[in-house]
Amino acid sequence: MTEFFDVRSGKVNGALVITVSGEVDVAGETQFVRHVVDGVGTTDAQRVVLDLSRVAFMDSTGLRMLLLCKRRAEERGIPMTLSITADGPVSRLIDVSGVAEMFQLERMG
């Protein structure tokens, strides 16, 4: 069960920046789709940055949602970057699952 999940978004220098905090799992899937995937699919921004540096936990559902975001961005011709902590849960999940090369990653710390 998701104990905490928060999404904030705004435009910075022509980019849609979506900041996700908390736990990204099956319990928060509907909210993630509504606020993140749909945001990527409807933006008029020149690029998208998903800031996942505040995500404390992400399971395979979250990974599936990231892949869906990537597909939506590609359909619109918008580059998308994942901003993640180098040793955080999102980084580990992306590395273990073997999909790191599919994303433009900005690893911090």
**Are 79 and 48 contacting, i.e. CB atoms less than 8 angstroms apart?**
yes
Identify how many contiguous H helices and E strands the chain contains and give both numbers.
4, 5
Domains and CATH numbers, the chain: 5-108 (3.30.750.24)
Q: What is the pLDDT along the chain (109 residues), one digit of tens a residue?
A: 446 889 999 999 999 999 999 999 998 888 888 889 888 989 999 999 999 999 999 999 999 999 999 999 999 999 999 999 999 999 999 999 999 999 999 999 8
Question: Is the Cβ–Cβ distance between 33 and 20 less than 8 Å?
Answer: no
> Given this model, what pLDDT does residue 5 score?
86
The dihedral through the CA atoms of 97, 75, 51, 8 has a sign that is negative
d(CA 57, CA 24): 6
